[in-house]
Amino acid sequence: MRIALIGYGKMGQAIEKIALERGHKISCKVNSDNPIEQVDFSQTDVAIEFTKPELATKHIIHCIDASVPIVVGTTAWQEELEAIKAICLDKSGSLLYASNFSLGVNIFFEINKRLAQLLSDHPEYQAEVEEIHHLQKLDAPSGTAIDIAKGIVSFNQNYSGWKTGLNEKPEVKNDELPIIAKREPDVPGTHTVNYISEIDTISLTHQAHNRKGFALGAVIAAEWVVNKKGVFTMSNILNS
């Protein structure tokens, strides 16, 4: 399979390593020195995109117009998701997006929903989400933390929304879920859900040791989506 790398930072380099190990080829690399408008996609089977939120939708539309399936790991662009879905379906494109491609994180999402459901009738347990990422991460909270919060809000009747504090716990209303977004040097990513009561604390944590899990998941997603049409997420892969 011939893969275009859109974004060639640390994640792009990790994806390249995994892709080559799995027998794929890198057809081209898009970065600030080689913008997507100047790249020939005629020898590309699928693209993997990890760049900046303000660039993601442009890259997605470019790949749809070029009839190249695209896997997107960039977060914080999803306010434009419905418009992108409409474009993708209208042009018979292929898009797979995720806030996190790690298999472990996607299992974490499912456990998080079940835990939220179990504690929905126990308001004495106050929930909070904490995420820790490297200093270069631009969005706060992370896309993964937002998906965790959505899972809690959907399955725990005590919460209707969330509020973020950067490096500290925000003041919240009774029905708001606090998210603490911490930025520290050289951290691949840690996400924790705490349910705290007067008598005990229940914690659920996923800690990434390196970028390999994210890179492997992105390549697996590219392998899965290459011959499909439509808009997909990691849940489609896990349940296929």
- Three-state DSSP class for 186? coil
Predicted local confidence at residue 130, as pLDDT: 98
Predicted local confidence at residue 61, as pLDDT: 98
Please report which confidence band the pLDDT of residue 150 belongs to, taking 50, 70 and 90 as the band edges. very high
Can you point out the beta strands (E) in the chain?
2-6, 25-30, 46-49, 70-72, 94-97, 126-134, 161-166, 176-184, 190-196, 201-207, 230-232
How many other CB atoms are there within 10 angstroms of residue 197's CB atom?
13
Tokens at residue 187, please? Answer: 């951290």
Structural domains of the chain, with CATH: 2-101+212-238 (3.40.50.720), 103-207 (3.30.360.10)
Predicted local confidence at residue 211, as pLDDT: 86
Q: Tell me how far the alpha carbon of residue 28 is from its chain's centroid.
A: 23
Predicted local confidence at residue 233, as pLDDT: 95
More confident residue, 202 or 239: 202
Please report which confidence band the pLDDT of residue 239 belongs to, taking 50, 70 and 90 as the band edges. confident
> Residue 43, class by beta-carbon neighbours within 10 Å (0-12 exposed, 13-18 middle, 19+ buried)?
exposed
In angstroms, the CA 166 to CA 212 distance is 27
Q: Tell me how far the alpha carbon of residue 47 is from its chain's centroid.
A: 16
Predicted local confidence at residue 21, as pLDDT: 98
Of 137, 150, 163, 212, which is the active-site residue?
A: 137
On whether the pTM is more than 0.85, the answer is: no
Give 167's contacts (C-beta < 8 A, 6+ positions apart): 180, 181, 182, 183
- Residue type at 170 in one-letter notation: P
In angstroms, the CA 155 to CA 132 distance is 24
pLDDT digits (tens, 9 = 90+) for 16-72: 999 999 999 999 999 999 999 999 999 999 999 999 999 999 999 999 999 999 999
In angstroms, the CA 233 to CA 101 distance is 9
- DSSP state letter for 168: S
Predicted local confidence at residue 34, as pLDDT: 96
Please report which confidence band the pLDDT of residue 151 belongs to, taking 50, 70 and 90 as the band edges. very high
In angstroms, the CA 204 to CA 76 distance is 24
pLDDT digits (tens, 9 = 90+) for 85-138: 999 999 999 999 999 999 899 999 999 999 999 999 999 999 999 999 998 887
Nearest partner of 3 among 26, 30, 21, 22, judged by Cα:
26
In angstroms, the CA 19 to CA 216 distance is 8
Instruction: Compute the average pLDDT of residues 73-82.
Output: 93
Of 24, 59, 133, 191, which is the active-site residue?
A: 133
Catalytic residue list contains 24: no
Strand 2-6, strand 25-30: pairing: parallel
Catalytic residue list contains 133: yes
pLDDT digits (tens, 9 = 90+) for 163-204: 999 999 999 999 999 999 999 998 889 999 999 999 999 999
